[in-house]
Amino acid sequence: MSKIQEIQQAVEFGKKKIIKGLIEEALAEGCQAIDILNQGMIEAMSIVGEKFKAGEIYVPEMLVAARAMKEGVEIIKPHLLSDQNTVAGKFIIGTVEGDLHDIGKNLVAMMIESAGFTVIDLGVDVAPEKFIEAIKANPDCRLVGLSALLTTTMPALNKAVAAIIEAGLKSQVKIMVGGAPISQEFADKIGADGFAADAASAASIAKELVAS
């Protein structure tokens, strides 16, 4: 079994204590940090999701896998961040109301920070008013990111975008949306300016949006 496969299994089965050692060994063997993240850790989370859907595992198993994933993200983070010194501007991000998933949002925040943005992370279960407050408190912010992982919180994403538009803040900020059930089509439908399926493309789209 390759080291990346070992990492995948450790995340999948929530073996938080051995993650650090495995990642360090993989890096020492010459594995790329981005491959460890994508092929090892993110792949593990999609396997966990499939198993949950199939009724083979339950919320507690998903939770321990998520904890192992978070531990892994902390270890891999310094190896993914570039020494970007440019200031691309401020980026406000949060997971929408009713949704507690934050692993993807945190990865997006990390990659966008690495692209030179100053990230203001509002956390999870963020009500539309909180996004509005944060945008008003940061008049120099030009970009907002909204994350939703549940089909049941897609309407909350729509609500947050509508609230930003209704508050007259659309001339100040561009809005980027994402999360497993979100598509470009949905993003267009709710009036968002950008969509990305993963954290790396989120960073490049963020740069494009502030430049346009």
147 binds ligand B12 (CB under 6 A): yes
Assigned token pair, 19: 């993650």
CA distance readout (Å), 40 to 17, 59, 168: 16, 21, 43
Residues 38, 57: Cα–Cα separation, whole Å: 22
Least Å distance between CB 62 and ligand B12?
4
Quickly list H helices, 90-191: 103-114, 128-137, 154-166, 184-190
66 binds ligand B12 (CB under 6 A): yes
Least Å distance between CB 194 and ligand B12?
7
Instruction: Please pick, from the candidates 3, 90, 105, 174, the single residue that binds ligand B12 as defined by CB under 6 A.
Output: 105
Hey, what's the torsion of the CAs at 98, 101, 106, 109, to 10 degrees?
A: -40
- Exposed/middle/buried for 156, CB within 10 Å: 0-12, 13-18, 19+? buried
Closer residue to ligand B12 in complex, CB, 31/44? 44
Interaction with ligand B12 in 19-58: which residues (CB under 6 A)?
42, 45-46, 48-49, 52-53
Instruction: Please pick, from the candidates 103, 143, 156, 164, the single residue that binds ligand B12 as defined by CB under 6 A.
Output: 103
Closer residue to ligand B12 in complex, CB, 102/113? 102
92 binds ligand B12 (CB under 6 A): no
Residues 189, 102: Cα–Cα separation, whole Å: 24
Interface contacts to ligand B12, rule CB under 6 A: 42, 45-46, 48-49, 52-53, 59, 62-63, 66, 98-105, 107-108, 145-147, 149-152, 176-181, 196, 198-199, 202
